[in-house]
Amino acid sequence: MRTEFLSTGAKRNAGGATLNLAGMILVLGCLSGCTTTAVNDLVSAPDVSLRNVEVQKLDLSAQRFVLSFDVTNPNPFPLPVNMIDYGVKLDGRRFASGETDCEIMVPAGSDSEIAISVDLNLLKTDPELLFIVRDAARRDIHYSLEGRMGVDLPATRPMRFEHEGHIRLRAAVD
């Protein structure tokens, strides 16, 4: 399986002054005696959900999908996301997972989209998923998403996320 970061709905350099203010707040908090755990308590984890799974290529030997994630930042400062580690299950079966570096800025109290291209060979890994993918173009299917998101803020560890819902796959191919 190969994953590739494709695009985002926000740019890396947006909100630089606000980011500097957020960084200063975190540094001042650490100077007053906080630990890394306390710094992580100052930064709320983003909400991440699966917006869309687009089928770009579908044949017996290889499949290509674009996974689109919505990232919501609940913080009063922008989050500079530099890594996403994800795992997606469709109808309870492991569909795709991976880790990719990225450079996006999720604005304060706002949303951004992350799109990742995934190349799979479902015939080798899990043939039953080929039927799930086929059916998912006609009906909503259950998905679960979990992972970690790295942010480029002082003394902040990657933050965990998980989400469940229903989705219908979109085909970009005939």
- List the domain boundaries for the chain: 2-171
- For each of the chain's 174 residues, which pLDDT tens digit applies? 655 666 555 443 444 444 555 555 555 555 544 544 555 678 999 999 999 999 998 888 899 999 999 999 999 999 999 999 999 999 999 999 999 999 999 999 999 999 999 999 988 889 899 888 888 888 999 999 999 999 999 889 999 999 999 999 887 654
Helix and strand counts by DSSP (H, E) for the chain: 4, 9
Distance CA 151, CA 12 (A): 12
Question: Architecture of domain 2-171 in CATH?
Answer: Sandwich (2.60)
Instruction: Give the Cβ contact number of residue 64 at 10 Å.
Output: 18
Q: What global pTM score does this model have?
A: 0.77
With CA atoms as reference, report the closest residue to 79 among 36, 121, 48.
Answer: 48
| pLDDT (0 to 100) of residue 103 | 92
Query: Which strands, in side-by-side order, build the sheet including 159-167?
Result: 93-106, 79-90, 141-151, 159-167
Distance CA 76, CA 160 (A): 19
Distance CA 71, CA 151 (A): 12
Amino acid at 128: E
Q: Measured in Å, how far apart are the chain's first and last C-alpha atoms?
A: 23
| pLDDT (0 to 100) of residue 18 | 47
Q: CA geometry: angle at 117 spanning 170 and 62, to 5°? A: 80
| pLDDT (0 to 100) of residue 25 | 53
